[in-house]
Amino acid sequence: MLAMGATRVAVIGASGRMGATVCAAVEGADDLELAGRFDVGDELGDLAGADVVVEFSVPDASPANVAHCVSRGVHVVVGTTGWSDERLATLREQVARTQGVGVLIAPNFALGAVLMMAFAAKAAGYYESVEVIELHHPDKVDAPSGTAARTASLIGEARASAGLGPVPDATTHDPEGARGARVNGIPVHSVRLRGLVAHQEVLLGAPGEMLTIRHDSFDRVSFMPGVLAAVRAVDEHPGVTVGLEHYLGLG
Ligand SMILES: NC(=O)c1ccc[n+]([C@@H]2O[C@H](COP(=O)([O-])OP(=O)(O)OC[C@H]3O[C@@H](n4cnc5c(N)ncnc54)[C@H](O)[C@@H]3O)[C@@H](O)[C@H]2O)c1
Ligand SMILES: O=C(O)C1=N[C@H](C(=O)O)CCC1
């Protein structure tokens, strides 16, 4: 629980699609105050005296931005994707040196997406075949999406726990890479299409049946309840947390 009075929130990447939506959501919340907006080229300095920073920038800029916040003892809610195991390990070392600071890295703040990942992990141990199809707007700079990478990681862990081997696939000739990428051993297919926002399907197959788990974000407002819930709770979770599910009691 943060101190009495409105929580001061600064946004990094404030001019972007997500950053601008977060600024509007913070301004619309009675218990939050928008303390500062930062984007590329701005000096982060004292982060406008923020209690919490929300970071939605680009994968290659995010680690340095988050490290700056941590060095100032400011909690951070991070939506930027591209957090490899190596980047996370470096962040964990930085945060371990700063007592009490909370950092949440969440590849997807939409409640339905968090549930979709949890349902996929729950089902994964029961199906011989699984493939992930993520579909996004064509201005997205990274592939596969952070959500798909996280889903594949959770599915891979569940399959290993269930003693399942590799997904069945008799392909021996695929010169164009039509079978997609393998993330943690799980086939992932990335679609980029004008008109889309953020969507994902997990297809699970067994003899004679298929289970499809699908989530659609039609508008970026879908991410805002999760972002604001994280802003309000991040100080109660010192250290580095990966995945909003751990704040929602679903982890
Ligand atoms: N976690 C989630 O729920 C969620 C939802 C949507 C998008 N995302 C992720 O959020 C990120 C941003 O997505 P977007 O659609 O808003 O992108 P965007 O391109 O619209 O916005 C990115 C912003 O970051 C700014 N920026 C670039 N370098 C910077 C730097 N060094 N310091 C500060 N700002 C910098 C850009 O100028 C731009 O304004 C992506 O990684 C995307 O995958 C996550
Ligand atoms: O629009 C994006 O970019 C999104 N990125 C996240 C991802 O990579 O999973 C979440 C959904 C939207």
Phi, psi of 85 (to 5 degrees): -60, -40
Output the six-digit token pair for 17.
């699609």
Residues 164, 121, 183, 174, CA torsion sign: positive
Residues labelled as active-site residues: 136, 140
Sheet hosting strand 239-242, strand order edge to edge: 32-38, 7-12, 52-55, 75-78, 102-105, 239-242
With a 6 Å cutoff on the Cβ, whether 40 touches ligand 1 is: yes
Residue 2 has pLDDT above 70, yes or no: no
ipTM of the complex: 0.99
Q: Whose CA is nearest to atom 19 of ligand 1?
A: 16
The model's confidence at residue 63, banded by pLDDT at 50, 70 and 90, is very high
With a 6 Å cutoff on the Cβ, whether 21 touches ligand 2 is: no
Write out pLDDT tens, residues 66-113.
999 999 999 999 999 999 999 999 999 999 999 899 999 999 999 999
Give the chain's length: 251
As a whole number of angstroms, the distance between CA 133 and CA 152 comes to: 11
Between strands 186-192 and 198-206, the pairing is unpaired
Q: Is 81 annotated as a binding residue?
A: yes
Q: Is 37 annotated as a binding residue?
A: yes
pTM of the model: 0.96
As a whole number of angstroms, the distance between CA 159 and CA 241 comes to: 23
As a whole number of angstroms, the distance between CA 121 and CA 172 comes to: 28
Q: Which ligand is nearest to the CA of 17?
A: 1
The mean of the pLDDT values for the chain is 97
The model's confidence at residue 160, banded by pLDDT at 50, 70 and 90, is very high
In order of 207, 245, 248, the CA distances from 147 in angstroms are 28, 13, 17
Cα separation of the two ends of the chain = 20
Residue 224 has pLDDT above 80, yes or no: yes
As a whole number of angstroms, the distance between CA 36 and CA 50 comes to: 8
With a 6 Å cutoff on the Cβ, whether 146 touches ligand 2 is: yes
The model's confidence at residue 3, banded by pLDDT at 50, 70 and 90, is low
With a 6 Å cutoff on the Cβ, whether 144 touches ligand 1 is: no
Q: Is 107 annotated as a binding residue?
A: yes
The pLDDT value given to residue 1 = 60
Q: Which ligand is nearest to the CA of 55?
A: 1
